[in-house]
Structure 1
Amino acid sequence: MSSERLIYLPLGGAGEIGMNAYVYGYGPKDNERFILVDLGVTFPDMDTTPGVDLIMPDIAWLEERKNQLEAIIVTHAHEDHVGAVGHLYNRLGAPIYARAFTAAIARHKVAEYGIHEGAVRTVSAWPEQIDLGPFKVGFVPLSHSIPESSALVIDTPAGRIFHSGDFKIDATPVVGEPFDAEMLAEIGASGVRALMCDSTNVFSTAQGRSEATLKPNLEELIRSQKGMVVATTFASNIARLQSLAEAGQAAGRSICLLGRAMRRMVETAVTTGILTNFPTTIPAEDAVSIPRDNLMLIVTGSQGERRAATAQLAQGKYLGLTMKEGDTFLFSSKTIPGNERGVIRIMNQFSEMGVDVVDDAGGLYHVSGHANRPDLMTMHDLIKPQMLVPMHGEHRHLREHAKLATERGYQGIVAVNGMMIDLTGDQPKVAEYIETGRTYLDGSVQIGAMDGIVRDRIRMALNGHVTVTVILDEEDDPLGEPWCELKGLPEIGRSGAPLADVLEEDLSQFIGRAGAKTLTDDDALEEGLRRVARKTALDEIGKKPEVTVVISRLA
């Protein structure tokens, strides 16, 4: 019996939507060769990750084995698939492979960290394949909401894997390659051991819709508006940007793109030949002087991002441009779960200005980039895998997709982040569990989710903070009384006296009662002062704040 095994290990993207990172390995146990498919990010929120800039996969397990890593393969240029390559590349060091448009975006990201652009290598589409140790990998064009999105054919000595990446069935995607059922059927006919499949829309029972169906609705909406029209969508949705720009142009409006990410995406698409006839755009400084009823802005910030153009316009002014009563703002996008509050806040800010807000509640101005349930079933039938492993979804999506696979006669399994699956036998089975979590980009520093930094930040946000300062002389006697500085706490407590005064009085009494054993022991003194401060605060304001004690001793 062969000692080699074929494994699949998600480090991100399985049990969540975002932060995709999937490891495939082949070889003897503990001596496999690996490839990593995608290295993406997800985004923080003020409730659970205040102050954090980005959230990335925990790659510690793979970093320990980086001498066994053949390559990083990027399926497409969405942030949840490519956003971490610049941040984490130096910890892995393997070459990055992607098709031309995705590779151009990846080069921008690694260049920001001083990494030579040669780290990113451009590959051609299927049927060409690249040799990576025991793997032969081919990039299979699929339609999605960004150009050059690719599934992967991963050939191994143990059989063929088909990694779907993100996809939808769209014969007329406006920009990018259409869904090619005949090509996929040929791949499936050759025999596929395992299909790793997108699960995002497994609960959507309607047939998916084409991107091309939106343009007439967009043009009709824009033509009917009197004031300035502003539309937001995902910066990476090149086809939607094209549809919006063409609809605005057809309605007789000048088009202005606002937002660095959006301009970069369009520039990259033009440079790589993806876009050949994008309508002419004008810079923001020229847009200021154009009559409002002749102007259309296409802006970043569809998910309520605080620094994006949409949020800036909602707060007043952006690059000299303002929203006014009678203008229209269109969300040509779906709000990602978790972002609802930020988006609704912006909608209300626009409403207060007298701006008419149009969202996509009726499905007229947005179509999903992910396969709905009938489209997933079509993919199953084209690829005809021996086993099916759902990915790219929350646990409920993965579980539903696994049930669907089982009902349709395929071996299915729910595999979440950190669960290593052995694909070598007749059915998938759990080989082992890997400790994995999240890495936070906090400012310019990477920290672990379990390091306690964000936990302490949340505690301070919830409970406030007190700094207690005490000075002791050469004889270990108090030099004056302790004093307190408050942050994020009410000034007056239940007693009606200033909270700082009450705290200082109780702390002074504690110091006066403390014996020599406590006064000479920094740890004991610090613990006693902290305990008194928290108890007094609880009595006065009903909260136990975080307490920092500063003890100074005169030498």
Structure 2
Amino acid sequence: MSSDRLIYLPLGGAGEIGMNCYVFGYGPEDKERLILVDLGVTFPDMDGSPGVDLIMPDISWLEQRKDRLEAIFITHAHEDHVGAVGHLYERLGAPVHARAFTANIARGKLAEYGLSDKVVRTTSAWPETVQAGPFSVGFLPISHSIPESSGLVIDTPAGRVIHTGDFKLDKSPIVGEAYDPDLWGSVAKDGVKALICDSTNVFTPVAGRSESSIGSEIEALVEEASGMVVATTFASNVARVKTLAEAGERAGRSICLMGRAMRRMIEASITTGVLSDFPKVVPVEDARSIPRENLMLLVTGSQGERRAASAQLANGKYNGITLKEGDLFLFSSKTIPGNERGVIRIMNQFSQMGVDVVDDSAGRYHVSGHANRPDLVEMHKLVHAEMVIPMHGEHRHLREHAKLAQSNGYTSTIAVNGTMLDLTGHAPKVCGFVETGRTYLDGSVKIGAMDGIVRDRIRMALNGHILVTLILDEDNEALGDPWCELRGLAETGTSNAPLVDCLEEDLSQFIGRADRKTMMDDDKLETALKKAVRQTAQSEIGKKPEVTVVISRLVA
């Protein structure tokens, strides 16, 4: 009997939405040959990761085993699936396989960091396959909100695995391939061991709508507008951008794309042949001189991103264009949970300008790119795998998806990031746990979630900061009183005296009564000064700030 096993290990995307990163392995225990599916990012928020630019999976476990990594496969070109390729590729070094559109985007990611784009290999759709050690992998077309999205057919000596990637069951998606149940059924007809399945919309009880269903609604909205029309959506949703542009063109408006990501996606679509009939666009320099009623801007920033075009327009002016009373701003997108505050801020800024803001609260101008609950049931039945493993979702999504699969007679279990499953038998079995976390891109450097940098930043934001400076002479006597500098704290407290005066007075009294042993030991002195500062601050303003102590000693 073979001792080889088939394993599945999510390092990102399971227990969260975004930052997708999934490992499959086959071989003897702890000697498996490995492949990686997707290498994505998620985005920071000011509450939990202030100042951070991007968040990526912690790939330390995989990096330690990179000599066993055969290849990386990217299912599609959304940032949460391909966004970390440029940042993390050098730590892994395996060839990257993707279809043409996704490969184009991945090469751009590598080029940004001066890496060779030759490591990205373009692969055609199923039935073409890539041999990667014991795995044979093919890209199975499926509709989503970006061109050339694919599930993966992963053949192993232990059986066939289908990894859906992100998907929806759309038979008329406008751009990209339609959902083809016959194709998927033919791949599944000889038996599938495991279906690794998207869980994002498991709580949405109605079947998903086609991308083609919203075009008439958008056209009517644009046609009725009297001022300038501005619309935002996910830059990667090329079909939606095309629908918006065509609506503007039919209304007699010139179309202008604003935002690097949107221009990049359209250019990639045209370059790879995904898009051939996009309406003519005008450069922003020309857009400034076009009458408002004849202009439509398609802009980035549907999620409230502070540096994107939407936010810049909301702040007053962007590329010489200003919105005015009577203009229309359309959010043709769904707000991702966690981004509501930024989106609402932009909406209010536009409202104060007199701009009419239209969102998708009524479901008229946006459809999701993910399968809803009835669509998941259809996928389960079509593939009819021995086991269903939910992925890409928060814990509540994974749990509900597992319950849904079990209710329809399929074996299922929850595997959050770091949970290794053995898929070799007839039911998934937990066979280990791996330390997982996050890697932050902070400016131009990468830091670990446990390095304490972001933690300290949060503490300073919550509690303020005080710098204490003390100079000591050769005899360990203070040269003058300690002095303090405050950041992010109230200037006066309960005593109505300046807080800095209270702090410096209390520190002077402490220095006056400190014993010689304390004054000679920098560590003890620093600890005591920090304690004294926090006690005074707590008494005066009800906070215990972060404290930095600088002790300078004169040497004879």
Separation in 1, partners of 2:539, 2:373: 56
Distance apart, 1:493 and its partner CA = 1.5
Q: Deviations over 1:17-43 (max 9, x none)?
A: 000000000000111000000000000
Distance apart, 1:494 and its partner CA = 1.2
CA RMSD of aligned residues (A): 0.5
Corresponding position of 2:182: 182
Separation in 1, partners of 2:215, 2:539: 63
Corresponding position of 2:451: 451
Separation in 2, partners of 1:362, 1:379: 27
Q: Deviations over 1:349-371 (max 9, x none)?
A: 00000000000011110000001
**1:38 partnered with 2:38:** yes
Corresponding position of 2:214: 214
Separation in 2, partners of 1:114, 1:295: 38
Distance apart, 1:47 and its partner CA = 0.4
Separation in 2, partners of 1:492, 1:415: 52
**1:392 partnered with 2:392:** yes
Corresponding position of 2:295: 295
Corresponding position of 2:497: 497
Separation in 1, partners of 2:512, 2:95: 66
Corresponding position of 1:529: 529
Distance apart, 1:489 and its partner CA = 0.6
> Which structure 1 segments of 5+ residues have no match?
none
SS of residue paired to 2:19: coil
Corresponding position of 1:143: 143
> Which structure 2 segments of 5+ residues have no match?
none
Separation in 1, partners of 2:122, 2:528: 63
SS of residue paired to 1:380: helix
Separation in 2, partners of 1:510, 1:118: 65
Distance apart, 1:496 and its partner CA = 1.2
Matches within 5 A, 1:48-447: 48-447=48-447
SS of residue paired to 2:296: strand
Amino acid at match of 1:347: M
SS of residue paired to 1:324: coil
Q: Deviations over 1:449-488 (max 9, x none)?
A: 1111100000000000000000001111111110000000
Q: Deviations over 1:476-522 (max 9, x none)?
A: 11111100000001111111111111100000111110111011000
Corresponding position of 1:548: 548
Distance apart, 1:377 and its partner CA = 1.0
Separation in 1, partners of 2:212, 2:305: 27
SS of residue paired to 2:41: coil
**1:461 partnered with 2:470:** no
Amino acid at match of 1:77: A
SS of residue paired to 2:24: strand
Separation in 2, partners of 1:409, 1:188: 17
Separation in 2, partners of 1:23, 1:406: 24
Amino acid at match of 2:375: D
Distance apart, 1:242 and its partner CA = 0.4
Corresponding position of 1:23: 23
Separation in 2, partners of 1:496, 1:200: 54
Separation in 1, partners of 2:496, 2:383: 73
Q: How many residues align?
A: 555
Corresponding position of 1:4: 4
Separation in 1, partners of 2:215, 2:281: 18
Distance apart, 1:214 and its partner CA = 1.1
Amino acid at match of 1:22: Y
Separation in 2, partners of 1:536, 1:217: 62
SS of residue paired to 2:333: coil
Separation in 2, partners of 1:305, 1:236: 15
SS of residue paired to 1:455: helix
Distance apart, 1:113 and its partner CA = 1.0
Amino acid at match of 2:215: K
SS of residue paired to 2:386: strand
Q: Deviations over 1:317-336 (max 9, x none)?
A: 00000110000000000000
Separation in 2, partners of 1:495, 1:73: 64
SS of residue paired to 1:319: coil
Amino acid at match of 1:374: P
Amino acid at match of 1:444: S
Separation in 1, partners of 2:422, 2:313: 51
Q: Deviations over 1:54-93 (max 9, x none)?
A: 0100100000000000111100000000000000001111
Separation in 2, partners of 1:375, 1:524: 64
Separation in 1, partners of 2:466, 2:115: 44
Q: Deviations over 1:522-555 (max 9, x none)?
A: 0010011000000001111110100000000001
Separation in 1, partners of 2:232, 2:114: 32
Amino acid at match of 2:21: A
Distance apart, 1:207 and its partner CA = 1.2
Corresponding position of 1:487: 487
Distance apart, 1:119 and its partner CA = 1.1
* Runs of 4 or more above 3 Å deviation: none
